[in-house]
Amino acid sequence: MSTIDKTYQWQGREDAEEGQNGLRWHQVMNNRHQTNSCSLLGFECDLGVAANKGRVGAAKGPNLIRNALANQAWHADCGVWDAGNMVVASHLPDAQNQYAQQIAKCLNENSLVIGLGGGHEIAWGSHQGLVQHLAAEPNKKIGIINFDAHFDLRNPSQQTSSGTPFRQIAEYCQTHHQPFHYACLGVAASSNTAALFNYAKQTKTQYLLDIDCAPNAAKQLLTPMLKAVDELYVTVCLDAFPAHIAPGVSAPSGLGISVEFVINMLHWIAQSESIFNYNWGLADIAEMNPTYDIDNRTAKLAARLVYEVLGSKFNAL
Ligand SMILES: [Mn+2]
């Protein structure tokens, strides 16, 4: 049985002499007053990475991302809400189920929900949460964009893990006669077997290799999918980035893609909502593993990505 922990204490630097212009994230947290609001939900889970035979430690990720978020300057015209962490004790499928219920609840109450991982098994919970949120409109088509060195399309028949979420989603879509719209940007060919490339091809997964990741190529790849979907879920796996930038992950990348590329794409994805007519209300940052972080650089990167996701939709600067 997993539980929700809401005891995190937001704190940080205060520039009282600057008044409202000196605000940082920790000062605006849980002060919901605007029409638009964003909620943060953590997933304290090591079970998926352990099942994928990776280096565990991601359960401590969400609060380290919060620590890095706390002192960031606040520039958004929305409310931000901390929905706490799902603390996972045992049995991954149950935990993902409970996380999905919380995601659906957050999506019902907020215009944007950002999940904080936890291993990439967070994606199965996020997707199922979005499905639950859309229960009254089951014909709405969901699109998924994953920035990741790995497809995470491993076969879940033996055991689900942090390596299987998008195959679980593909199988769910097949069972429920729904299209599988999945794009993976940053794939390291050397880290994905031929079996995974075959399954990607079979499921018409759209992908860009790490060496090919550039804004124009990505926009061209994503445009048909974005035109076809109604709801978008964007997930960033921190192992998409070079190991010196993101050492605090289970499986560091030998090459990796640039942070600037991902931030550019996040803003383009937000700007394209009205052009291609979809709603982007769900994102998460996966694989934050404080055990292997150096000088909080991965946590700071994760926080910057949360900042950019929120800012791409609600920037007030
Ligand atoms: Mn991943």
Q: What is the rounded average pLDDT of the residues 276-300?
A: 98
Kindly give the distance from the C-alpha atom of residue 257 to the centroid of ligand 1, in angstroms, as a whole number: 14
Q: State in Å: Cα 121 to ligand 1 middle.
A: 8
- CA pair distance 191, 187, nearest whole angstrom: 8
CA of 120 to the centre of ligand 1 (A): 5
Q: What is the pLDDT of residues 79-127, one digit of tens each?
A: 999 999 999 999 999 999 999 999 999 999 999 999 999 999 999 999 9
Give 317 Cα–ligand 1 centroid separation in angstroms: 32
pLDDT at 287 over 80: yes
Kindly report the three-state secondary structure assignment for every residue of the chain. Answer: CCEEECCCCCCCCCCHHHHHHHCEHHHHECCCCCCCEEEEEEEECCHHHHHCCCCCCHHHHHHHHHHHHHCCECCECCEEEEEEEEECCCCHHHHHHHHHHHHHHHHHHCCEEEEEECCCCHHHHHHHHHHHHCCCCCCCCEEEEEECCCCCCCCCCCCCCCCCHHHHHHHHHHHCCCCCEEEEEEECHHHCCHHHHHHHHHCCCEEEEHHHCCHHHHHHHHHHHHHHCCEEEEEEEHHHCECCCCCCCCCCECCCCCHHHHHHHHHHHHHCHHHHCCEEEEEEEECCCHHHCCCCHHHHHHHHHHHHHHHHHHECC
Q: Using the mean position of ligand 1's atoms as its centre, give its distance from the Cα of residue 311 in Å.
A: 23
pTM value? 0.98
Architecture field, domain 25-314: 3-Layer(aba) Sandwich (3.40)
Distance between CA atoms of residues 60 and 117, nearest Å? 9
According to DSSP, the residues that pair with 146 across neighbouring strands are 184, 235
Q: What is the pLDDT of residue 1?
A: 79
Average pLDDT over residues 196-223: 98
Q: Is the pLDDT of residue 51 over 90?
A: yes
Q: What confidence tens digit (pLDDT) does each residue in 253-270 have?
A: 999 999 999 999 999 999
User: How far does the centroid of ligand 1 lie from the alpha carbon of residue 316, in Å?
Assistant: 31
User: What pLDDT sits at residue 281?
Assistant: 98
**Both ends of the chain: CA-CA distance in Å?**
43
Q: How far is the CA of 74 from the centre of ligand 1 (A)?
A: 29
For residue 52, pLDDT over 90 is answered with: yes
**How many Å lie between the centroid of ligand 1 and the Cα of residue 314?**
27
Residue 49 to residue 237: CA distance in whole angstroms: 13
- According to DSSP, the residues that pair with 43 across neighbouring strands are 86, 117
Phi-psi region of 71 (alpha: psi -120 to 50; beta: other; left: phi over 0): alpha
**Which amino acid, residue 66?**
R
Q: What pLDDT, on the 0 to 100 scale, is given for residue 317?
A: 81
Q: Degrees (nearest 5) of the Cα angle 189, 193, 197?
A: 75
Structure tokens at 303: 């926080």
Q: How far does residue 149's CA lie from ligand 1's centre (Å)?
A: 7
pLDDT, one tens digit per residue, over 144-202 is 999 999 999 999 999 999 999 999 999 999 999 999 999 999 999 999 999 999 999 99
Quickly count: other Cβ atoms within 10 Å of residue 36's Cβ.
16
CA of 157 to the centre of ligand 1 (A): 18
Task: Give residue limits of the domains in the chain.
Answer: 25-314
